[in-house]
A and B are shown apart, each in its own frame.
Chain A
């Protein structure tokens, strides 16, 4: 059997794939955080809760309404996005003029509400969501076994990331968004409805999180706390990459997932913590983050 630094090739590539998939989730979530931060200047602590709500909407939609996976892939982000727009209109807008730390605190409170409420109904041990039938099974590639669902998650996540990048960097709506990030007052003066743009941006950002949640439902146990633990890692990823660049968020997310996967192969004890250690290293060498601009 082929060995890579003392590890069987199949184990090596398997862990690398798992790492890449984790990385795809980091990328999707940090992308949403970066989009929201760009325009609203707040760090959305409820992002993990939105990811969790996306997964729960998928699970409960199937259980009670008979909505299948493919419909959930569209409906769950839509529902969570609408809820996010409501949150922006009713709550976040009121504190828009204050120090941006208040935005972090408010969304933290929201995260506690969502998480705690669902814990009461569903407990902390997660529920299983079946893999959609058309994606069951996998491919034998010779050097590794590739489950179909994991390949799909990777493709879908990277596809959505690239789509978002295209939307923001290459379309008119994206140009508005980037202009609004630079100078919202001037945009308003040019006749662009900036408050609406802010609402839509927040809705889109949390919809990305919910989309990640739907993708995650068949992979990980669906539990109320699945989002918060992931979010803290994503925060570290965001500190590493900086929130200034869309492509930077995607690349950093995937890279951190890979590093985590490699650590799992060679030093599993540190797999939980390696991203935080990378963050410390980046703070020491390049405090503004890999893709960050001077604040």
Chain B
């Protein structure tokens, strides 16, 4: 063909890189499809939910440079709304429940986002933390959350009214599909012109302003997107465990998602997934060991170590090493 003959070496290289990347993605999807036959599906679903949560958080911190210390609020909102609706209206199908939960998180994200982007840097972190605490107190007192007990026995129901989600394997593939959707959305966002502007804001906000970008609008859209995906993760998690509780709304949860992202690699696509997998596995292993009570201090120590000497995270370091040795 004529086009292949006129390809420059750089185009060829790019094409090869694209092929490699697609092969890599395909391999990961295959692993995801086979995984429930190797590992415990409920555990894998937990990892996927937290991975989506961390990816959503990373969209804000890694690409827009905004450190939210209140993402637990969106996880909990998704979870509570989905849990409440599915428990009170048995006719509601699970996908509609998840959609409603996500929509609620989007709405909350719009309000909190508009408020918190009025301040920058360290103040932004404190504002998001305070707003999330406001939601925590709201969920303790609100009549539909079950207070300290939370919502139990949320029915998984039948997907589209046909496919029963009782079976863990079926549930797993549903969760996997949701995760892939969320991940693909983030991947597209990051590599779109919109994502480029976010990175410009992260690197130098005054310059982005002087180039004529409406920085606040970009930040707000990124915030809403991130909040919505965190809500999606929370809704899905509620369906998996048939439970929505205050743990999800507590500021510890906001800290945990920061740790997952930091450990895996801030600003890398796969970092949050790796980080979430590690932190969830660690919690799982510690819970069964004599060190079960020491989860908090151990996570704290990992936090300190990451900040002191491992700021690129696992995936970040791996990318650095790859670039140094293979390019």
Contacts and interface: CB of A to CB of B under 8 A. Distances in A.
A235 B126 contact: yes
A144 to B, nearest CB: 29
Q: How large is the interface on A (under 10, 10 to 19, 20 to 34, 35 or more residues)?
A: 35 or more
Given A43-B126, A102-B311, A284-B115, A120 B300 contact: no
Nearest to A286: B118
B121 interface: yes
Interface in B279-327: 293-297, 299-304, 306-308, 311
Contacts of B138: 273
B144 to A, nearest CB: 16
A41 B297 CA distance: 26
A73 to B, nearest CB: 29
B251 A232 contact: yes
A119 interface: yes
B125 interface: yes
Contact of A116 (B123, B127, B297): B297
B137 A273 contact: yes
A249 interface: no
Nearest to B255: A108
B88 interface: no
A219 interface: no
B303 A108 contact: yes
A105 B303 contact: yes
Contacts of B293: 119-120
Contact of A112 (B118, B130, B131, B299): B299
Contacts of A116: 294-297, 299-300
Name the residue among B258, B307, B308 with the largest chain A CB count within 10 angstroms.
Answer: B307
Given A106-B304, A112-B297, A238 B126 contact: yes
Contacts of A37: 122
Contacts of A272: 137
Give the dominant DSSP class at A's interface.
helix
B126 to A, nearest CB: 4
B23 to A, nearest CB: 36
Most buried by B among A42, A276, A277, A295: A276
Nearest to A101: B67
Contacts of B131: 276, 280
Contacts of A98: 311
Nearest to A275: B130
B192 interface: no
B125 A283 contact: no
B21 interface: no
Contact of A101 (B122, B133, B141, B297): B122
A113 interface: yes
A106 B126 contact: no
B103 interface: no
Contacts of B295: 116
B125 A43 contact: yes
B307 A106 contact: yes
A283 B120 contact: no
Contacts of A82: none
A159 to B, nearest CB: 28
Contacts of B134: 273, 276-277
A295 B121 contact: yes
Contacts of B296: 112-113, 115-116, 119
A287 interface: yes
A34 interface: no
A276 B141 contact: no
A156 interface: no
Contacts of B306: 109
Contacts of A120: 293-294, 297
B126 A239 contact: yes
Contacts of B116: 283
A112 B308 contact: no
A277 B131 CA distance: 9
Nearest to A119: B296
Interface string A36-53: 010000110000000000
A104 B122 contact: yes
B86 interface: no
A238 B124 CA distance: 12
A228 interface: yes
Nearest to A224: B296
Contacts of B301: 109, 113
Contacts of B304: 91, 106, 109-110, 113
B1 to A, nearest CB: 50
Contacts of A228: 251
Given A105-B307, A120-B293, A235 B129 contact: yes
B123 A239 contact: yes
A272 B306 CA distance: 34
Contacts of A102: 307, 311
B56 interface: no
B300 A112 contact: yes
B129 A232 contact: yes
Interface of B: 67, 69, 115-116, 118-123, 125-127, 129-131, 133-134, 137-138, 141, 251, 255, 258, 262, 293-297, 299-304, 306-308, 311
Given A112-B255, A276-B137, 11 more contacts: A43-B126, A101-B122, A101-B125, A106-B303, A109-B302, A109-B307, A110-B304, A113-B304, A115-B296, A116-B295, A228-B251
Closest 10 CB pairs of A and B: A116-B296, A109-B303, A112-B300, A113-B300, A116-B297, A109-B304, A276-B134, A236-B130, A287-B118, A235-B126
